[in-house]
Amino acid sequence: MGNFKRSEFATQYGISDAQASGDIATYLGNSRSPPVLDRRSGLHVAPSNFVPLFDAAEKNLAPWLRGDGQSYRGLNFVETTLPEPLINPSLLGPLLMAPETRTPVRINCQSMTTAQPSVRIISPHTIVRASRRFHVRAWDSLRKTFSDFSLARITASETALDEAGIPVDADNEWNEFVQIVLVPNPSLSPAQIKMVQQEYSMERGKLAIRTRRALAIYAMVEIGIIDVVRPPSANTSGKLLLPENANTLRKLVFGREL
């Protein structure tokens, strides 16, 4: 933000002026290019060579800007809002207890590929939030494989005491980690490539994201590269980022290469 006052710092974080002074002193003592106090205005002003002491990534910036919903020196902060899938809390009990009791759960779920709901016996081990949805990762006794079930599409759940559970240790795709190696699209101009490298904090022109193999498809959807990786397409048009290891990802996630 370039500058700040002690009183603003105290108000923003709900602390006393004395505590704010102590926190500011600690920050200044650890900073390689500390802000300089302008005693006339009471502002701590960042020098031209200022380097933040902490990560300034979006995940940290957004909550700070969001604050209490008020503007900061007249600069407002607004987020877009999207509808969230409705989840019935009463359905979560059997799912949450299942890993500890090692007891499967009988669920009714509605698929978008079939007209009627189906009954499944599942052994859940993790709830995942990805692509704006909550999923439960579980062994599916019907298909004999680990799958993801959308919590919003589960209409009933109960403990299945007469069934044997399958532990998370058996979920190979969950326990295996893969890397998504991102690079700027080479069709960009040199200036654009430099900007992308800076925007994503790339090192040596690359950004490696480590994720569970079971979650790689969600990560690629959120990054916006799924249509580059999913066979048979390899559409790179309009992409800022491309997966350097696209063929490896195709084989790991979709079981084939181009």
- The CATH number linked to 93 is 2.30.30
For residue 38, the model assigns a pLDDT of 85
Residues 138 and 186 in one domain: no
- pTM for this model (two decimals): 0.73
For residue 6, the model assigns a pLDDT of 84
Residues 93 and 21 in one domain: no
201 in any annotated domain: yes
Flag residues of the chain having pLDDT under 50. Answer: 258
Domain residues for the domain of 26 are 3-66
For residue 115, the model assigns a pLDDT of 83
The residue from 170, 200, 220 where one domain ends is 170
75 in any annotated domain: no
For residue 223, the model assigns a pLDDT of 94
84 in any annotated domain: no
Residues 95 and 165 in one domain: yes
Number of domains in the chain: 3
Residues 96 and 165 in one domain: yes
The residue from 130, 148, 170 where one domain ends is 170
226 in any annotated domain: yes
Which contacts qualify for 118-127: CB closer than 8 Å, 24 or more apart?
118/142, 120/149, 121/160, 121/163, 122/149, 123/98, 123/165, 123/166, 123/167, 124/95, 124/98, 124/99, 125/98, 125/99, 125/167, 125/168, 125/171, 125/174, 126/168, 126/174, 127/95, 127/151
